[in-house]
Structure 1
Amino acid sequence: MRITANITSQNSLYNIQQGRAKLDKLNELIGTGYNINRPSDDPVNTALLLDIGDKVKAGDQYQSNITKSNIWQQVTSTALNGMSSTIQLAQKQVSNVANGTSDETTRQTAIDQLKTLKQQLIDMGNTEINGQYIFGGAVSTTAPFNSTAPYYSGDETALKIEIAPSSIQQMNIPGNQLLTADSATSKPYGSTNILKAFDDLIAAIGSNDVDAIQAGAKALEAGAQQVTNAQTDVAARVQRLDSMSTLNENNKNTLSTIYSNTQNVDYAKLAVELSQQQTAFNASLSATAKLSQLSLLDYLS
């Protein structure tokens, strides 16, 4: 096959264009800092990076949900601690008049204290976060508890939140499961109506009914255990949330490492490649320039 000057020229031009394209690619990588700047650069790893990006965004949302749920658990725990202390104070007042030998002044003092303590329970049951009553179930814009039967005006909706793929965590405790559990459909902590127990005790102490006072004392004891059970539940939730938070953070770090290893360029390596390519490109230009100066007369001489 005869190699003409035109073929040589075309080959030279092709090689120069290829060298220029490689230089441009290296400069783009160095300029952006990314290995993949468009899907066509690497379709397989592009799909991988998009998937990682989606998972990181989902992880951020799960972490936000965990943070929100943790705040609810902390506020709920504070309210439950207050309720537990309040019931203990009520038990102490009842023990002072339980034998039926107390005078009217002592009994009236106990009644006044129980009324105050009952109101404290109601106030704690009406705890709110950012305008949401945490014990009201789905009815979160109005106070769920009042001082008269049936005491509770919220509902029994369990507010749940996703903290990981296919992993759901309940945020709230419906108030009727806590303070008026005898009327609750679900009774995970007990079945005592604590607010009614207070009213029954107030009436029993007023009439100095020893049997009724002792029955009320037992109801308070059951109510105290009911609150303790709720505290245990909240503590377990917090532990689970902490574990899921750590897991989500570890997953995010792993995904971020994979993303970085796939997408971020190695500047030291690219600098070497750029220098080599620039040298090769300049050599190609120089060789092409010398060859293009040759003519038939050069070969005949």
Structure 2
Amino acid sequence: MRITQQMLTSNMTTQMNRNLSNLEKANQEVSTGKRINKPSDDPMGTEKSLKLSSQLARNEQFERNTDYAMSWMDMTERTLSSVSNVFQRANELGVQASSGTNSQDELDTMAKEFKQLREELEGLANMKLDGKYIFNGQKTDQPITIEANGELKYDNGSMKQRISPFSEVKLNVSADEVFDNDVNLFKALDRFSQALTTGNSEEMNTALGEVQKGSDQILTSWTGMGARQSRVESMNQRLKDENISVQSFLSKNEDVDLAEAIMKLKSEESVYQATLASSAKIIQPSLLDFLR
């Protein structure tokens, strides 16, 4: 077969394009740090990366959900601790008042403190997180209404957050669980304050019993919320650990060994330069060059 100048030129051009393509691919791997930059680089690897990326995105959303749930529950936990402190102080005053050794002036002073405790309890009942009332059920944009006589108006709906594909958790502790269950906490404080003002020892003993029941009521709701809080914290840590594993798998599937990639790039550069040099020698001058 006769080798023509056109055939030589065509073959050399094809080889140069092939080597240039290899050089460009090697350069892209070094620049991006990825061995898969388009599906054709590794179809099976691309499919695996898509699955891992989808799993990572889903887990990261659940991680954000658990982060939010933990923030809400942490605020609720701290508020319930403060509510418990209010009733612990009310119980201390109640025991002291019920001893029968106090003057009326002393009882009046205690009655004033009970009123201050009630005001503190009102503030705690309408505590907010990120502009949302934490104890008013699903109506987080509205405060609990607290009447002068202690009557409460609130929503007792549950707020739930999905923390995994198969489970969700109740975020909130509603007002009926804490403030208005077996004992209305506001009425209990009001009753004791009134008993102190009148000096009625029998009424004081009755009111003290309600205060103590109120303390137990707070503790019950606090304990229930704490169990859910522990579950969310455990799920949050599990998601973080799983995300680290998925990211590791994704990196192993996509990333290049940088040292190896740089060596490959240098090699492809040498091959391309050698192709250019040999092309310059092999391709002979054209007829026009002889006619000059």
Instruction: Output the TM-score relative to the length of structure 1.
Output: 0.78
Q: How does 1:177-256 map to 2 (within 5 A)?
A: 177-181=177-181, 191-256=182-247
Q: State the shift of 1:87 in Å.
A: 0.9
Partner of 1:125: 125
Cα pair distance change 1:200/1:15, threshold 3 Å: same
Q: Count matched residues.
A: 282
The code of the aligned residue for 1:212 comes to E
Q: Would you say 1:29 and 2:29 are equivalent positions?
A: yes
Partner of 1:259: 250
Cα pair distance change 1:149/1:47, threshold 3 Å: farther
Please list the CA deviations of residues 159-181 of structure 1 after superposition, one character each: whole Å capped at 9, or x if unmatched: 12223333323222112210111
User: Could you list the runs of 5+ residues in structure 1 that have no partner in the other structure?
Assistant: 182-190, 294-301
Q: Would you say 1:272 and 2:263 are equivalent positions?
A: yes
Cα pair distance change 1:271/1:84, threshold 3 Å: closer
Distance, in Å, in 2 between the alignment partners of 1:226 and 1:124 is 16
User: SS where residue 169 of structure 2 aligns?
Assistant: strand
User: SS where residue 23 of structure 2 aligns?
Assistant: helix
Q: Would you say 1:71 and 2:71 are equivalent positions?
A: yes
Q: Would you say 1:175 and 2:175 are equivalent positions?
A: yes
Q: State the shift of 1:81 in Å.
A: 1.8
Distance, in Å, in 1 between the alignment partners of 2:280 and 2:122 is 94
Task: Tell me: higher relative CO, structure 1 or 2? Use CA pairs within 8 A at least 6 residues apart.
Answer: 2
User: Could you list the runs of 5+ residues in structure 2 that have no partner in the other structure?
Assistant: 285-292
Cα pair distance change 1:42/1:107, threshold 3 Å: same
Partner of 1:96: 96
Cα pair distance change 1:47/1:151, threshold 3 Å: farther
Please list the CA deviations of residues 43-81 of structure 1 after superposition, one character each: whole Å capped at 9, or x if unmatched: 222222223223333333333333322222232222222
State percent identity of aligned pairs.
23
The code of the aligned residue for 1:263 comes to E
CA contact (8 A) 2:150 2:184 kept: no
CA contact (8 A) 1:98 1:210 kept: yes
Please list the CA deviations of residues 200-235 of structure 1 after superposition, one character each: whole Å capped at 9, or x if unmatched: 333444454444332221221111112122332343
CA contact (8 A) 1:119 1:147 kept: no
Instruction: Output the TM-score relative to the length of structure 2.
Output: 0.80
CA contact (8 A) 1:66 1:241 kept: yes
